[in-house]
Each structure stands twice: as structure tokens, then as C-alpha cells.
Amino acid sequence: MRDLPDRRRLKPPAPEVRQGTVLVMTAITLAVSVSMLALVMEASRMSARSSELQTAADSTALVAAEMLNRQATTSTARLAAMNFGATYNGVTAGSLSFNFPPSSGPYAGQLGYVESVVSSPFSTPLAPVLGGTRNTMLHARAVAGPKSIPWPDLLLALDPQTIPGILSSGTGQLRVEGAVATNSRGGGLDEKGLPVAATSGFGAQLSQSGQLLASQFRVSGGVNDPTYFRGLTDGAANPLVCRSATTIDPFKNLPTPTANLGVSILLRGEGRSVSPSTNLTLRPGLYTNIMVTAGTVTFQPGIYVIRGGSLTLTGGNISGQGVMFYLTGTDYSALYGTPDNADGENTPSSASTMGGATISTRVNLTGYSDTTSPYSGLLIHTRRFNTNPIILSSPQTNETLNGTVYSKWGPLTLSGSGVYNLQCVTRRATWNGSNNLTLTRGSANLLGTKQVYLLE
């Protein structure tokens, strides 16, 4: 029989001694994790709020700059931007401020630009744990303003009621090395020969005897014969587009010239040269009329305001680099821009006496050259209510007639020869020349349209 173990000699195993290390580490890890999670949440919340403030700064700066671009006062622009910020960004007036112009950065001191600053308190309860402060201020800043963008149309007829908007009746060739557009709603045929309904006439009308060539023709209405509209090269794709959308006036926000924008308030009387022996230097200022039929005349750089009279250049030796001619009425104020600054998009109703412009002799003229001015590149500018014609019939060589012609309600007639480095935006445009004329951008400084962008 097998001996059994002596139970008195058997002892129960000693209990295992547990130090609680796992519990302590778990508690520490959990605390650190919760703290880190809280910090991440706080940082995420701060980042989201900063993003909201930056959006508010960006949008209010754009609104204010767009208002300025539309010739609003700084107080009106500020109010519009504040209302926008309150409505769409939830920003109160006390947390939003503007600088007209910006007080810092690359656009500091430049008129037409806006600096928007948004500030908001932000509470971070965990910041004191890391040695920071519980309450802090968040800031966002943005700068917006205009940039000049080249306008693609070299010949643009604005008025939808003028029929036709583009008329070619000459026997020569007009070659436009760019686009031609008219808002005229006259009828006719489209580019496929299908009828375009209208009350009467044609949106654009070309004669078979001459030629009008362009890279593109955009017509809001129709044309008399789509086969007359040709591209710049033989075999080029059909450049005609009828039933085109209305082309906006690219210069509708152009401010009225005033003393603050470069106009000299000096009264110059009449600028006149009719004798071959005359040697005359004209300076910027306020004129009643400018007429040159003979002699040598030099226009100094600047803005020439003609109140009530005309610009007539029909003979002589004429030159002027960096000049702009502004044709307005006898009641124009150079200090305030009245009454011109109230014209806007309205139909002309002014009874003030105003004149037109005629250039029928070879000249050497380039548009306004101050690149900081809203008129940079502008050569001939009429008050918006001025309905008098612009007639350009001079023979020119390349780079001798440079700039932009802008006459919102005035008709343009082209009948010259050679090369015009011009861009023409007028009520309607007529070509009736018997020679060949090229309208091209070349290296000319042309007036650009102002578009508002976020810059900082």
C-alpha cells in the first residue's frame, strides 16, 4: 500500500504580492490621453475659429473693394462690408475694422485698396495647464483691391438699341487683329444662315464691296449676310457668333476725371494752331477747345479736359506722349467731377454743350502713361452723356496712334489707313474707308478693365 503524504507537512501556497503598477500606469495613461485629446480638441476649435475669422476678413475686404471699384465713398464701402459681415459671417461691428487704404503690407497707402481686420476673443480652459492664458484674441487680416485685366475686344459697340451696331460700307479692308463685338439686337441671319427674329434691321451689316476681318465676331442679334464675315487667314474657322450674350461695358466703373485723379485745374482757354509757322507747346489743364490745322504742336504728358468744345486735329505736325483727352460739358467741375459722375448707366439727358473728336492728319500720340492711374492707356475719353462722334481718318504707321478710345454714347467712324494701335469701345462703330486699315494691339498700353481680387 502506497504511503500517503503527511498532510500536516503540506502548506498552502503563499499569496501573490501585487504592486498595483498596471492600475497606476493605466490611470496615468488615461489622464495623459484625455489631456491630449482635450488639447487636440482645443487646437481644432481654435483652428476652426481662425478659419471662420479669415473667411470673414476675406469676404468683407472683397465687398469693400468692389464698392470702391464702383466709385462708392469709403463710408459707403465700410457700411456695405460691415452689413455683409454681420449677415453672412456673424461678425459684429465691434470686431471688424477697415483701413482705406491699407496701413501695412505691399499695398500700404495705395488708394482703391482695402485692408480688413477681424478680431475675436477666444477661451482656452486648458491653456493655463501649459503655462498659457485662458483667454486670448484671435486676429485675421485680408487686403483686396483692383487689378487691371486686358480686355480682349478691340472693337466693341455697346448700345443694344442702335441698329446696326457695326456697319461696314467702305470699299477698303479693315483688319481687326482681335475680337469685334456688338450688343445690337437687330435681326438678320445667324452664322448658319438661320433667321434671327428682330423688329428691324441687322445687328451687324457688312457690304460686299469691302472687307472686315477679325479673329471673332460676336453679335447679339443677326447679320445681313454671314458669308461676309471672315477670319484673319484664308481657311480660318467661321469667326461669327450670332445671338451672343450681351457684352458688358468693360469700363463702366471708370471714375470721372477729377483733380484728385490727375486733372490740372488751370484754365488754359483755347489751344489753337492754324499757321504753318506756329510752334506751340500745350500743357495739361482745362480747355474750351483744341484745334490744330497747321504748325507744330506738342502736347505735354497729362490730362487735357475740353469743356464744351471739340478736339480737332486736321493738319500740322502733332505729337504727344502719355496724353488723355477728356471731352465734357461746359458745366464740368474738375474739383468734384460733377455733373459727369452722376451719369452712370443712364441714358443721356444732359443739355450741356459738348463736342466730339476728329483726327484726320498723321499724328504721333500715345495714351495716358501713368500706370498707377485708372486711366492708364486711355487716349480719348468722353463724358458718358456725350453723344458726339469720334472720327478717325488719318493715315498712320505702326505705334503712332496708340491707346484706348472710350465713348459710351458716342458713335465711332473709322476711315483711315495704315495701322492704328487702338482699342475702341463706343456706342456703335462704322467703317467706311477706301484704303486698308489694321486695328491691332501691338505694344500699345491699352486701358484694362478693373476687376477686384483678394491680394493678401
pLDDT digit string, tens, across residues 308-328: 999 999 999 999 999 999 999
Would 15 be classed as within a structural domain?
Answer: no
Does 125 have pLDDT greater than 70? Answer: no
Residues 413 and 431 in one domain: yes
- Helices then strands, each counted (H, E), the chain: 2, 31
| Grid cell in block for residue 101 | 487704404
Distance CA 154, CA 421 (A): 9
Of the residues 242, 262, 284, the one at which a domain ends: 242
Whether 2 is in a domain gets the answer no
pLDDT of 3 higher than 60? no
Residue 335 lies in a domain: yes
Q: Are 334 and 200 in a shared domain?
A: no
pLDDT of residue 307: 97
Does the pLDDT value for residue 202 go beyond 90?
yes
285 with 327, same domain: the answer is yes
Q: Is residue 82 part of a domain?
A: yes
Element housing 42 (H / E): helix 21-69
The grid coordinates of residue 212 equal: 472686315
Domain boundary among 242, 261, 276: 242
Q: Residue 133: its pLDDT value, please?
A: 65
> Mean pLDDT score of the chain, rounded to an integer?
88
What is the pLDDT averaged over residues 395-400? Answer: 91
Strands 240-242 and 279-282: unpaired
Residue 425 DSSP code: E
Average pLDDT over residues 43-70: 84
Identify the three-state secondary structure at position 415: coil
Tens-digit pLDDT profile for residues 430-440:
999 899 999 99
Q: Which of 32-36, 84-88, 273-277, 325-329 has the lowest mean pLDDT?
A: 32-36
> How many domains does the chain fold into?
3
pLDDT at 425 over 90: yes
**Does residue 213 share a domain with residue 112?**
no
Min mean pLDDT across 94-98, 309-313, 396-400, 404-408 is at 94-98
Same domain, 271 and 335: yes
Show which of 149, 183, 208 is a domain's final residue: 149
Compute the average pLDDT of residues 193-207.
90
Indicate if 277 and 309 belong to the same structural domain: yes
Q: Which residues contact 151 (CB under 8 A, 6 or more apart)?
A: 250, 423, 425, 446, 447, 448, 449
Assigned domain for 12 exists? no
* pLDDT higher than 80, residue 348: yes
Statement to judge: residues 176 and 208 lie in one domain: yes
Same domain, 397 and 431: yes
The answer to whether 363 and 314 are in contact (CB under 8 A) is no
Q: Is residue 16 part of a domain?
A: no
Same domain? For 379 and 445 the reply is yes
Q: Which three cell numbers stand for residue 82?
A: 460691415
Task: Indicate if the alpha-carbon torsion angle 438, 443, 447, 449 is positive or negative.
Answer: positive
Q: What is the pLDDT of residue 406?
A: 97
Q: Is 337 exposed, middle or buried (0-12, 13-18, 19+ CB in 10 A)?
A: buried
The residue type at 214: A
Segment 59-71 mean pLDDT: 87
- The answer to whether the CB of 426 falls within 8 A of the CB of 411 is yes
Residue linked to cell 506722349: 321
- Same domain, residue pair 328 and 435: yes
Please give the radius of gyration of the chain, using alpha carbons only, rounded to the nearest integer: 35
Considering the domain architecture, whether residues 137 and 184 belong to the same structural domain is answered as no
- Return the pLDDT at 243: 95
Examine residue 339 and say whether the peptide bond preceding it is cis (omega within 30 degrees of 0): yes
The whole domain housing 389 covers 249-454
Strand 302-307 to 323-328 pairing:
parallel
Give the single-character DSSP code of 437: E
Are both 128 and 184 inside the same structural domain?
no
